[in-house]
Structure 1
Amino acid sequence: MQKKKVVIPLLLMLLSAGVAGFWWQSDQQEIDSTTLQLYGNVDIREAQLAFNGSDHIAEILVQEGDRVTRGQLLGRLQTELLEAQLAEAEATLTAQEQVVAKLEAGSRPEEIRKGQAELNAALARAKSTRSSYQRIARLLDKELVSPEDVENAQSLAEAAAAQVEVARETLALLKAGPRKEEIAVARAELAARQAGLALVRQRLNNANLYAPSDGIIRNRILEPGDMASPQTPVLTLAYIDPVWVRAYLPEPALGKVPLGVKATIHTDSYPDKSYSGWIGYISPSAEFTPKSVQTPELRTRLVYSVKIHVCNPQGELRLGMPVSVTIPLGQKPSDTTVNQCGE
């Protein structure tokens, strides 16, 4: 009897614990069926910055650890030679612009009036020599002049008539202005000078190094006086907002997480804070679970690499930081976020 008294309460306790465990497991399954927990690290995103020109570095304006903004000037090359080339290009362009303007304007009124005066003078000379020739020719019948005098007078009259034609054509050219082919050649030369000036200005701009995005300077590789080139990195820039979290999605959950759905990120460094993000990339091919990744699934299961874009306005998420990612399941395509922070 004593044993029965001991066994019955023990059975009741076990039964109660089983019921409680059943309800706890049911609750956990319900939670697990609505969310997906992933683990990963803040991915390192950086760029090797180099000058787009080749020369000695004049100055580097940032230090390692400095926070920079998009478009900020980071460094300069020596530009004495480029500035001299710029001045030369500007001068030759100005000269060619004047040549084109001169050709397009045509002859000046003074030049046309001068041509008209020369034509009038030629006409007067032609009239005078023609009259002289006619008078001398009449005197030949009276044998008052020699045949040679008549020939000389005739030659002078013909030469004067030819000069009239020359003066007339010269005046016509002055009124017509330069040939269109000459203007076209001058305009083409002007375009070449403009392109040359733009090229020098671009080379001068390439002597400056600008930040392509907001970020933090991780490494300062070269110093003033070093020779820079497009193939030689000068600075290393780490992108900080948004950052990427690289995690691995178990194969059974692949169909439950469409591209673009929302995600919440937590870190051990700031346990009371959460960060908003979205799924920005899902690998098209599967791979085995890396040893460094912790998932509740078996490590032998296949996973898909995913990138979660996370807004990091305060810069609290550091590169390489381990994080946990919570993804609510059942999100519809209409519930996806715009893939930009602050929107």
Structure 2
Amino acid sequence: MKNKLRVVVLVLLILGVGTAYWRQGQDHPTEGALTLYGNVDIREVELAFRQPGRLLRMAVDEGATVKAGDVVAELDAQPYRDALAAAEAEVQRAQAELDKLQHGNRPQEIKRAEESVRQAEAVFRKVDSEFRRQSELASTGAASQQILDAARAARDEAIAALASAQQALSLQQEGFRQEDIAAAQARLASAEAARAQAQTALDDTQLIAPADAVVLSRVREPGSMVDSHAAVYTLSLRDPVYVRAYVSEPELGRIASGTPVSVRTDSSKKVYLGHIGFISPRAEFTPKSVETTDLRTDLVYRLRIVITNADQWLHQGMPVTVTVATASTGQD
């Protein structure tokens, strides 16, 4: 009986010692590990419209979770729809002008010009014949100089009219100059650019969440007039989540970019995993937020640690303990 009792006591003793060592390993990193202290650093975004206007709708409240691409707010879009319609009409007008220049004159207009030339030729033949007849009569004294001068003036006028009609026909047949077409093309391009701007302005009446995030603050309410670039929401991005920590110069050689780490908070037993993403090349005095007193007056280097399994329980500014599992004690 006594032997059995001794065995039970021995087993309990072994279990107690093992548990104590396990807890010590949980509370204190293994020998050679580097322990750092820092704070959760979640990036924030201030959402704003690129266009001014009246707020029509605010879709989410503080604390809400939004997904990338969600519409979180809208402006009254009617003024921007009207502007787009006007821009579209200007594009159509410029296109019609260019089409007219590129296609040339209508066949009816060319036929009209040809008819004007034929009429001018007929008039010229008539007055030229009369001028010749009066010239012959004047040479024999049968016609006065006054009648001959009138016939000559009529012929000269007919010559000018015929030349004008022929020039008009030539212009109708040749169409418009390349310079005129190029100018019309430039006006069309300008109108299309204005239409694109109007479409962009209309699209910007919807405020889109750029990434998965949590709404930290809702700054405006429906009905308010907002200026362009005035914040409407403040979002806390859910990915990536960082930890800002600091390491002293003697410990700098024990870490490198990409070194894996584990992160613990005071409010949860969960172990967060991550790696060192950035080591500042510039030393600075230890910020007041660092929890350890032995680093208060030291020069330290800032670290940015990327958390790979972050969840909703990590909050901005939360103090954390970072364990860098390395057996190295200094630079090689």
Cα root mean square deviation, aligned: 2.7
What runs of 5+ residues in structure 1 fail to find an aligned partner?
Answer: 1-29, 332-343
1:228 maps onto 2:226 in alignment: yes
For the residues of structure 2 that align with 1:64 and 1:312, how far apart are their CA atoms?
Answer: 24
Which residue of the other structure, out of 119, 123, 126, is the alignment partner of 1:125?
Answer: 123
Summarize the Cα distance change of 1:217–1:298 in structure 2 as closer, same or farther, 3 Å threshold: closer
Any idea what the Cα deviations from partners look like across 1:213-242, whole Å, max 9, x if unmatched? 221001111101122123532111011211
Where do 1:57-76 residues align within 5 Å? 57-76=55-74
Instruction: Give the Cα separation in 2 of the matches to 1:154 and 1:328.
Output: 115
Q: Is the 8 A contact 1:240 1:312 kept in 2?
A: no
> Where in structure 2 are the equivalents of 1:274-293 lying within 5 Å?
274-290=271-287, 292-293=289-290
Give the total of aligned pairs. Answer: 301
SS for the counterpart of 2:281 is coil
State the identity as a percent: 38
Match of 2:13 in 1: none
Unmatched tracts of structure 2, length 5 or more? 1-28
Matched, 1:159 2:157: yes
| Ranges of 4+ aligned residues in structure 1 off by more than 6 Å | none
User: What is the aligned partner in structure 2 of residue 328 from structure 1?
Assistant: 325
Instruction: Go from structure 1 to structure 2 and tell me whether the alpha carbon gap of 1:153 and 1:41 turns closer, same or farther (over 3 Å shift).
Output: same
Paired amino acid for 2:127 = T
Distance 1:114 1:245 in 2: 84
What is residue 32 of structure 1 aligned with on the other side? 31
- Pairwise CA distance, 1:38: 1.9
- TM-score, normalised to structure 2, is 0.81
More divergent stretch after superposition (114-123 vs 93-102): 114-123
- Rounded to whole Å, the distance in 2 between the matches of 1:296 and 1:152 is 120
CA contact (8 A) 1:250 1:297 kept: no
Whole-angstrom CA distance in 2 between matches of 1:229 and 1:174: 54
Counterpart in the other structure of 1:306: 303
More strand per residue: 1 or 2? 2
Q: Which amino acid aligns with 1:32?
A: E
1:191 and 2:173 matched: no
**Shift, 1:297, TM fit:** 5.8
Check whether the contact 2:44–2:236 (CA below 8 A) recurs between aligned residues.
yes
C-alpha distance in 2, partners of 1:257/1:136?
A: 117
Q: Secondary structure at the match of 1:159?
A: helix
1:107 is matched with which residue? Answer: 105
Show the counterpart of 2:245: 247
| CA gap 1:325/1:296 in 2 versus in 1, 3 angstroms | farther
Partner of 2:198: 200
Which structure 2 residues correspond to residues 144-183 of structure 1 after superposition, within 5 A?
Answer: 144-183=142-181
Are positions 1:258 and 2:256 aligned together?
yes
1:159-184 deviation line (CA, Å, top 9, x unaligned): 22222211111111112222233223
